[in-house]
Structure 1
Amino acid sequence: MSDTGHNNRTLWIAFGANLGIAVAKFGAAAITGSSAMLTEGVHSVVDSSNQLLLLWGRRASRRPADALHPFGYGRELYFWSFVVAVLVFALGAGVSVYEGILHIAEPEPAVSPLIAYGVLAIAFLLEGGSTVSAFKEFKASKGQLGWLHAIQRSKDPPGFIVLLENGAAMAGILVAAVGLAISQWTGDPRFDGAASIVIGVVLGLTAFLLAYESKALLIGEAADPQLVEGLRRLVEARCGVTGVGEVLTVHSSPDMITAMISVDFEDSISAGDVERIVDDVEREACRSFPLVRRLYIRPRSGEASRPT
C-alpha cells in the first residue's frame, strides 16, 4: 500500500463540510428541541476540530530533525491522530450517550420536525460529498488490498480517519432521522433519546478502531514486508556478504523509514572493502526505496540468511 503523495485537500473539504453542518444542526436543535439533533451538532463540531488537529499533525511532522529529535518529528502525526481518536470517544460518543440518557429521563417533544429533516438531508449530502473525496483518495492509495487490511497496513492515519469519521457521521444522520420519525409516529420523544445513545455507540466503536490503529503507529510499526524483503535481497546480492540476519525497520512517519540490518562479511576482506560495500548498499537502497531515509548496517559474524 502506498501512502506517499498525500495532500490536505480531503482534510480541508471535510473541515468545511463539518463546520457548515454543525451550524445547521445546532440551529435546528434550538428550534426543534431534538436531542439526537443536538448530539449530531456536537459530533460535527468534534469532527471539525479533528480535521484541524490532523492538519496540524501533518504540518508539525514535516519539521526537520534537530539535536533534541535526531530522527525528526514524524510521529507528531501519529500522536495527534491518537488524540483525535480520544476526542471522538470522549466528546463525540460520551456527549451523545449522556444527552440520550438525559432525554429519556426527561423527555421533551420535538418542535418543527420538518426543519430537522431538512437539515439532516442537507447534512447527509454534504457529508456524502466529503466521504466521496476521502473514499477516492484512500482507494487510490490502498492498491489491491482489501479495505480492512488497507486500514491496518496504512502508515498515514488522516487518510483512514477521515473516511471512518465520515462513515460514522452518515450513519449517525440516518439514526437521528429514524429516531425523530419514530418519536413522531409513536408520540414518544424517548425514541429520539434512544437514537442519541445509538449514535454514541457507533462513535464509540469508531473511536476504538481509530485509537487501536493510531496506537500501533505511535509505538512503531515495521515497513511493508515486500520492502523488508527487498532490502534483504539487496544486501545478499553484494560480493563479500556471506549472510544477512535481522532486517529491522520502523516508520517514523508515513514517508520516512529507518532500517537496521545485521550482516556477516567474508573474513578475508579488508575494513575498506566493508566500507565500500556498505556505501554501495546505502546508495542503492536510497534509489530503490525512497522511503528509507536512514540505513544502518551492523557487521556481525555468524549471521545466516533467514527471514525476520
Structure 2
Amino acid sequence: MAADGSTKAVVVALGANLGIAVTKFVAFTLTGSSAMLAESIHSVADSGNQGLLLLGGRRAKRDATAEHPFGYGRERYIYAFLVAIVLFSVGGLFALYEAWHKISDPHPIENWRWVPVLVLVVAIILESMAMRTAIKESNAVRGKASWVDFIRRSKSPELPVILLEDAGALLGLVFALIGVGLTLVTGNGVWDGLGTAAIGLLLVAIAVVLAVEMKSLLVGESATEEHVRQIERAISSTDDIDSVIHMRTMHLGPEELLVAAKVAVDGEDDAARVARAIDAAEARVRQEVPIATLIYIEPDLRRTLRAAEETAAQE
C-alpha cells in the first residue's frame, strides 16, 4: 500500500512538472525573465528527480544474489540521495548564479509583459494539485506523526522527497511571482533577480535537508519505536523464551527489516525444545511486523539460573 502510494505521488508530480517546465521555458523565451528561467530549470530538475525515484524503486525490487545477500532495497535510498544532489546543483546553484547575473545587470521585462504572471498562476494551480496528491498519500501512512516527524522518521524516501519538492516548488513559484510582479510594476529588473535568489536559497536548503535524511537511511536506521516494542513483545510472549536480553534492528529497505536478538531460555531445556521456541518466536514476529524479512535469534541461558548455579558451585 505504501509503495503504491509513493509511486502514485511520484508519477503525478512527474506529469505536472513536465507540463509546467515546457510552459515556463516558453514564457522565458518570450520575456527573458531570470526568475522564469530559474523556475524552468527547477521544473526540469524536479522531473529528473522523479525519474530517479521511479528508477530506484524499480531497481530495488531485484532479488537477492550471492554478492548482495540482503537484496537491493537500499537502492531507493541511493537514488533519493542523488535527488538531493541534483536539486542542490542543477536547481539551487544555477538559480543563485542566474540571480547574481540578473542583479549585476538588471533589465526590465519589456516583451509579453504579463505572460510570466499567467504562467506562474497556472503553474501554482498545477503544483497545488500535485501537492494535494502527495499529502493524501502521506496521510495514509504517517498516522499521528507531525509533518516534521514524518519527514525525519519515514523509512520510505519517496513521499518525503516529493513533499519537500512540491512544497519547494510552490514557494518558489510564489517567490517568482513576487519578483516578476514587482519588476513589471517598478520597471526595475533587480526584483526579478531577487526573486531568483530566493528560489535558489530555498532549493539549496531543501537539498541539504534531503541529503541529511537520506544519508541517515543509507548508513542504516533501526526500526521505529512501535515496531521495536511489537517485536520485543512477540518474542517475550513465546513459550519457553523468558525474555529478550538485547536486540538490534536495521532497515535494509523501506519494507525490509533485519532483526537480530539474543533471548534467555531455561538451561534445562533440550536443544529441540529451544529450536521450536525460536521458530515460534520468528513466526510471531513476522505476524506482528510483516516487514521483518530477516530474523536471527540466538538463545542464551537465563541469567538468574546461571547466577544461582555459580553461587551454588562456590559454596
After superposition, what is the alpha-carbon deviation per residue over 1:150-199, rounded to whole angstroms, capped at 9, x for unaligned?
11121111111111101111111111111111112222101101111110
**Map of 1:67-86 to 2, 5 A cutoff?**
67-86=66-85
Match of residue 155 from structure 1: 155
1:240 is aligned to 240
CA distance in 2, matches of 1:204, 1:91: 10
- Which amino acid is 2:99 matched to? G
Q: Which protein is bigger by CA-based radius of gyration?
A: 2
SS, match of residue 68 in structure 1:
coil
Q: Give, as a single letter, the amino acid of the residue that structure 1 aligns with 2:137.
A: E
Amino acid at match of 1:63: R
Q: Which residue of 1 is the match for residue 58 of structure 2? A: 59
Secondary structure, aligned partner of 1:30: helix
Amino acid at match of 2:297: I
- Pick closer, same or farther for the CA change 1:268–1:302 going to 2, 3 Å: closer
Instruction: Determine if contact 1:120/1:177 at 8 Å carries over to the other structure.
Output: yes
Partner-residue secondary structure (3-state), 2:5: coil
C-alpha deviations, 1:79-104, integer Å up to 9, x for none? 00011011111111000000000111
- Secondary structure of 1:73's counterpart equals coil
Given residue 220 of structure 2, which amino acid in structure 1 is its aligned partner? G
- Residue 118 of structure 1 and its aligned partner are, at CA, apart by 1.0
- Counterpart of 1:131 in structure 2 is 131
The 2-side partners of 1:188 and 1:216 are apart by: 44
Q: Distance in 2 between matches of 1:237 and 1:12?
A: 43
Q: Which amino acid aligns with 1:221?
A: E
Aligned to 1:106: 105
Distance in structure 2 (CA, Å) of the matches to 1:7 and 1:222: 21
Q: Deviations over 1:192-214 (max 9, x none)?
A: 01111110011111111111111
Match of 2:122 in 1: 122
Aligned residues: 303
Cα deviation 1:271-292 (Å, max 9, x = unaligned) = 1111111111112222222111
Does 2:12 correspond to 1:13? yes
The 5 Å alignment of 1:80-95 reads: 80-95=79-94
> Percent same amino acid at aligned positions?
36
C-alpha separation in 2, matches of 1:221 and 1:88: 24
Deviations 1:81-137 (A, max 9, x none): 011011111111000000000111122221322111111111111111111111111
Q: Is the Cα contact below 8 Å between 1:3 and 1:154 reproduced in 2?
A: no
Moved more, 90-99 or 218-227: 218-227
SS in 2 for 1:241: coil
Correspondence list, 1:258-273, <5 A: 258-273=258-273
Shift of 1:143: 1.0
Q: Which residue of 2 aligns with 1:229?
A: 229
**Bigger mean CA deviation after superposition, 265-274 or 39-48:** 265-274
Name the residue aligned to 1:180.
180
**Residues 47 and 5 of structure 1: CA distance in aligned 2, closer, same or farther (over 3 Å):** closer
Q: What letter is aligned with 2:251?
A: H
Aligned mates of 1:221, 1:273 — CA distance in 2? 33
SS of aligned partner of 2:294: strand
The TM-score normalised by the length of structure 1 is: 0.94
Corresponding residue for residue 212 of structure 1: 212
CA distance, structure 1, for counterparts of residue 28 and residue 118 of structure 2: 12
Matched with 1:97 is 96
Q: 1:303 to 1:169 in 2, by over 3 A?
A: farther
* Matched-pair contact (CA < 8 Å) for 1:245–1:303: no
Aligned to 2:286: 286
Residue 7 of structure 1 and its aligned partner are, at CA, apart by 4.6
Q: Amino acid of the residue matched to residue 277 of structure 1? A: A
Contact 1:222 1:250 in 2 (8 A): yes
Residues 287, 242 of structure 1: CA spacing in aligned structure 2 closer, same or farther, 3 A cutoff? closer
Indicate if the aligned counterparts of 1:3 and 1:254 stay in contact, CA closer than 8 A. no
Q: Which amino acid aligns with 1:198?
A: A
Assess, with a 3 A threshold, how the Cα gap between structure 1 residues 6 and 187 changes in structure 2: closer, same or farther. closer
Q: Deviations over 1:217-271 (max 9, x none)?
A: 1111111112111211222223332331222111111111110001121111111
Provide the rounded CA distance (Å) in 1 between the counterparts of 2:5 and 2:106: 47
Note if contact 2:266-2:302 (Cα within 8 Å) is conserved in structure 1: no
**Matched position secondary structure for 1:65:** coil
Q: How far apart, CA to CA, are the structure 1 residues paired with 2:128 and 2:29?
A: 24
Partner Cα distance (2:275, 2:291) in 1: 23
CA contact 1:53–1:84 (8 Å) conserved in 2: yes
List runs of 5+ in structure 2 lacking aligned partners. Answer: 305-315
5+ long unaligned stretches in structure 1: none
Task: Calculate the TM-score normalised by the size of structure 2.
Answer: 0.92
Classify the secondary structure of the residue corresponding to 2:114: helix
Residues in 2 aligned to 1:169 and 1:42: alpha-carbon distance in whole angstroms: 11
Contact 1:244/1:303 (8 A) holds in 2 = no
